[in-house]
Amino acid sequence: MKLSTETISVLKNFSTINANLMVKAGSSLSTMSAMKNIVAKADVAEEFLSDFAIYDLNEFLSALSLFGKPDLEFNNDFVIITEEGTSKSLKYWFSDPSVVTTPSKEISMPSTELVFNLSSETLDRITKAGAVVGVPDMSLSGGKLAVTDKKNSTANVFETSLDVGDVTADYKFWFKVENLKLIPGAYDVEVSSKKISHFTNTKLGVQYWIALEPESSYNG
């Protein structure tokens, strides 16, 4: 099996959410952060025939990078990585599934109060701004997306307008900037007053469920 460029990108992204990964038989991958406040799922081109666990996903990706065009042969307890036309090979052992963090069930989104499109440009702008001005929080309120420090009244604030449609309710939803571990791109976003959000990539089969901060409020 050869992994597509898109699947490699998903694995790299998932490694920022959780260092380990449980792969289930089929053609979807999912991961969950150690704090259980981020869950991600991706539909991929490859179909895996059996379950296996990877304890250190970054190490596994580094192992793949030793090969120009890696070819993977899966066994029960390990994978053999080779490259056509070369004598290189690597035997990479799987982990015990019991030590790997993985989502236990599918997430069912509750009713949502906000539904909008987040363009790739806006996502890039807001995440870069958070890093530039050095603040940890993102707020969504009154059609404005802003990054700031909610615990510091004199913190730097960067904001940009966002089309959330005709919403008359008074709301302020808070996110941690560090939880926006999204593959670059545009997203359809749903936000619930039950303090959970759902980001669906408009071009790739990738979804994220991200918990809101406790201070989030909605008065409809």
Domain boundary (99, 128, 161) is at: 99
pLDDT tens across 16-49, in order?
Answer: 999 999 999 999 999 999 999 999 999 999 999 9
pLDDT, residue 58, reads 97
State the pLDDT confidence band at 195, using cuts at 50, 70 and 90: very high
Same domain flag for 126 and 95: no
pLDDT, residue 113, reads 93
CA-based radius of gyration for the chain: 20
State the pLDDT confidence band at 171, using cuts at 50, 70 and 90: very high
Judge if pTM exceeds 0.95: no
What is the rounded distance in angstroms from the CA atom of residue 42 to the CA atom of residue 8? 12
Same domain flag for 129 and 90: no
Q: Which residues contact 31 (CB under 8 A, 6 or more apart)?
A: 14, 17, 18, 21, 39, 40, 102, 103
- Provide φ and ψ at 88, rounded to 5°: -70, 140
In whole angstroms, how far apart are CA 70 and each of 1, 3, 51, 61?
Answer: 9, 8, 20, 11
pLDDT, residue 149, reads 96
Assess if residue 109 is contained within a domain.
Answer: no
What is the rounded distance in angstroms from the CA atom of residue 82 to the CA atom of residue 72? 7
In the chain, the number of structural domains is: 2
Per-residue pLDDT averaged across 170-183, rounded?
A: 96
pLDDT, residue 50, reads 93
Helix runs in the chain, H state only: 5-17, 57-64, 120-133
Whole domain around residue 144: which residue ranges?
A: 114-219
pLDDT, residue 172, reads 95
CATH number at residue 176: 3.70.10.10
Assess if residue 11 is contained within a domain.
Answer: yes
Separation of first and last alpha carbons in the chain: 51
- Provide φ and ψ at 216, rounded to 5°: -60, 145
Tokens coding 103: 């989502």
- Answer for the pair 130, 177: CB distance below 8 angstroms, yes or no: yes
Domain boundary (52, 69, 99) is at: 99
Assess if residue 47 is contained within a domain.
Answer: yes
Domain boundary (76, 99, 122) is at: 99
pLDDT, residue 109, reads 93
What residue has token string 């909605």?
A: 218
Please, what sign has the CA dihedral across residues 72, 73, 74, 75?
negative
Q: Of 46, 55, 10, 7, which Cα lies nearest the Cα of 26? A: 46
Tokens coding 65: 């990078």
- The average confidence (pLDDT) of the chain is 95
pLDDT, residue 168, reads 82
3-class SS at 169? coil
State the pLDDT confidence band at 167, using cuts at 50, 70 and 90: confident
Same domain flag for 212 and 150: yes
Assess if residue 189 is contained within a domain.
Answer: yes
Same domain flag for 68 and 122: no
Q: Distance from CA of residue 90 to its chain's centroid?
A: 29
Assess if residue 151 is contained within a domain.
Answer: yes
pLDDT, residue 169, reads 87
3-class SS at 101? coil
pLDDT tens across 58-113, in order?
Answer: 999 999 999 999 999 999 999 999 999 999 999 999 999 999 988 988 899 999 99
Same domain flag for 58 and 89: yes
Same domain flag for 87 and 131: no
Assess if residue 106 is contained within a domain.
Answer: no
What residue has token string 């460029």?
A: 5
Q: Does the pLDDT value for residue 220 go beyond 80?
A: no
